[in-house]
Amino acid sequence: MSKKTIKIISIFLIIFLIIILSIMVENGTIQTSSNVVSDKKIEWGIKRNKNHEQPDLGKENRKILEENNGIALGNNEEKTIYLTFDEGYEAGYTSKILEILKENDVKATFFITAHYLNTNEELVKQMIEENHIVGNHTKNHKSMPELTQEEIRKEVMDLHTAVFEKFRI
């Protein structure tokens, strides 16, 4: 084989390899950094807006939510308010909150941890009985970017299973 033929075959092989690799990346056979979930830590803080407009979630948070079909804000064309409560621990107000919600026939969402479930089982039972949503605020309220995929799965599913086991009918 002449040097020229070898050169042509080599170039052909390289082009062929590039095509195969790009097809594999497109199919997800090979994962590139763009389709792996990033564990870069981003602060979650919403900036309140003036003029009764929706708060600003921040550019990075908004991008992640959009890419993953997440929801953080409702439709701003509708005049709806979503009441959500962070129940990492009981600060002594939930009984009163439930009472006022009931009086006004308003439903809310309470995001609980395992600590909350184990120390305030009666309140969680009341939330369920009064048709509120009990949301999953993970078992131990850890910082997710610092955990492995398996630890994250456990943080969510252990709480899910504990609530299910305690309150299933």
Verify binding: residue 90, Zn ion, rule CB under 5 A: no
Among 56, 61, 88, 162, binds Zn ion (CB under 5 A): 88
| C-beta separation of 135 from 110 below 8 A | yes
CA dihedral angle for residue 36, residue 39, residue 44, residue 47, rounded to 10 degrees: -60
> For Zn ion, which is the closer residue by CB, 99 or 146?
146
> For Zn ion, which is the closer residue by CB, 21 or 144?
144
Using the contact rule CB under 5 A, the part of the chain among 86-94, 114-122, 124-132, 159-167 near Zn ion is: 86-94
- Using alpha carbons, list the distances in angstroms from residue 2 to 8, 10, 12, 100: 10, 12, 15, 89
Among 58, 61, 65, 86, binds Zn ion (CB under 5 A): 86
| C-beta separation of 140 from 116 below 8 A | no
What residues make contact with Zn ion under the rule CB under 5 A?
A: 86, 88
